Structure 1
């Protein structure tokens, strides 16, 4: 039974990640050049960079993709490191769009969405290809979410899972550590949130524990940018370090207030999955707004710690 469930779990997770990649690929191919121009032209102030980060990340459905793009642009000296902080803050907000999308109850129509997407992929036009990838990707997300939710009940009966959840629930920091490890493995904070949503729907995980995992997953997904910065020069590495520090500081700031964040989210929705999605939005928006006025001292801090002073 364990082998069967673990195989299905891996398969559903793979479908979820495949859906994210397909969506990102189609949209990125359509707008890659324009997005890079956007980043190089309007990141000269922190607030404009944050708006650009929100827009681009919501479009690409991946903060990791934006971070890799930033590392490349800084390594190529197209933008300075100091102009990336606002974009990173915006990327953390933009990535919450996916979590909100997968809470919509359109799983029963996912196959129709998949069929429309496959049909659009037959056309040669770039817009058709992009929209086809979007439809196929979204269909994969909804289908995999349905599968992950169906596995939550049998998975939660394993003694190892119960012990792990009890450990994560015993302290918010432990939940964050679990989320960071899981996100570092699957390289997607959204996938971690999707897994937590499945257990929330089955009532085998509490909302505060799921929020702690969500907060930790933001740190774990920083590994992608860190790997991309290897050999890219000191300024590019500072982008990756800044991403880690921003998410770590946000986690430290919010971990003591997880129960309060859970209470606010429960007032906004009665659906557990939607509550977690709203928590992700609130967490990232509040952290970014609080840190936005501190961009100058923060860039000095990162440069002093991981490179040359500004």
Structure 2
């Protein structure tokens, strides 16, 4: 039991390590430019949404982009109201990782390592950054493969088996698990990737996987909230807005998870792809619903948290 749990923890750490290394490689290449893009996302909600999608898809980290956004709001370079469009885009952009990982990419592991590792030894800024990206992405694929190899050994443990049964039977349990685990490891992508692995082995049903994904979206908001502590009033409101967007999204979707699952099953027969598609549709629908009412949503956030802005 200890060996299985230790391996599982190692694969989670490897996934997060891969995400970090890949993100650092992209930041080295485009970090300042991406901050400039976020800074310029101030004149139209649709533009803010688009920039949020692009920057998050490139960095592959909603948490990193949200921390940037909170930082820009805290320093006054971006207003709270204009940050909401970015938040909506962030939720969509982060799904790019899941859509890619939904395919079997194990054949890419060795080519990526063979190319990426030597590049890490170079003194060229460009080549080193590319090496970080390739090495980080290969680490993520290895971790995904590791999750799948451990699904059955893990499910043989009484505690894990009982948890799987409870999540399959009760969507609220799955939702809560997604929130807690994502808040702890600070990666909604990692939590959803684990759910995808269990689904591929037919241990977790689609409604439970969707519920875990919904919870993971909310749990990862903790990062932006922590980044806002000690910041300006507007930066705190930005973090709260990120939380409320996902809370309202969950309230909208969780009563219809079963119906939503039936629809998603028509899009693909592969469980991991089903969950990736569900995550994409959920975030796109929520973002498009909030986009036309950003001004009213901003006022709601200010009212709930009793934080008027001059």
Whether the TM-score (by the shorter chain) exceeds 0.5 is yes
Query: What does the per-residue CA deviation read over 1:228-259, in whole Å, with 9 as the maximum and x for residues that have no partner?
Result: 11101211111110000001100110111212
Contact conserved, 1:15 with 1:140, CA < 8 A, in 2? Answer: yes
Secondary structure in 1 matching 2:42: coil
Aligned to 2:177: 178
**What TM-score do you get using the length of structure 1 for normalisation?**
0.97
**What TM-score do you get using the length of structure 2 for normalisation?**
0.97
- What CA distance in whole angstroms lies between the structure 2 residues aligned with 1:171 and 1:47? 37
Offset of 1:28 from its aligned partner?
Answer: 1.0
Secondary structure in 2 matching 1:178: helix
- What CA distance in whole angstroms lies between the structure 1 residues aligned with 2:96 and 2:215? 18
Query: What does the per-residue CA deviation read over 1:5-45, in whole Å, with 9 as the maximum and x for residues that have no partner?
Result: 00100011111000100111110121111111111113321
> Which consecutive residues of structure 1, in runs of 5 or more, have no partner in the other structure?
none
Q: Report 1:117-132 matches (<5 A).
A: 117-132=116-131
Aligned to 2:26: 27
- What CA distance in whole angstroms lies between the structure 1 residues aligned with 2:225 and 2:292? 25
- What CA distance in whole angstroms lies between the structure 1 residues aligned with 2:165 and 2:42? 44
Aligned to 1:252: 251
Aligned to 2:39: 40
Q: Which sits farther off after the overlay, 95-104 or 256-265?
A: 256-265
Offset of 1:165 from its aligned partner?
Answer: 2.0
Aligned to 1:303: 302
Q: Which sits farther off after the overlay, 198-207 or 123-132?
A: 123-132
Between the two proteins, the alignment pairs up a number of residues equal to 309
Secondary structure in 1 matching 2:266: helix
Contact conserved, 1:300 with 1:309, CA < 8 A, in 2? Answer: no
Contact conserved, 2:234 with 2:309, CA < 8 A, in 1? Answer: no
Secondary structure in 2 matching 1:78: coil
Q: Report 1:133-148 matches (<5 A).
A: 133-148=132-147
Contact conserved, 2:11 with 2:146, CA < 8 A, in 1? Answer: yes
Offset of 1:130 from its aligned partner?
Answer: 2.0
Offset of 1:131 from its aligned partner?
Answer: 1.4
Aligned to 2:57: 58
- What CA distance in whole angstroms lies between the structure 1 residues aligned with 2:42 and 2:51? 8
Secondary structure in 2 matching 1:277: helix
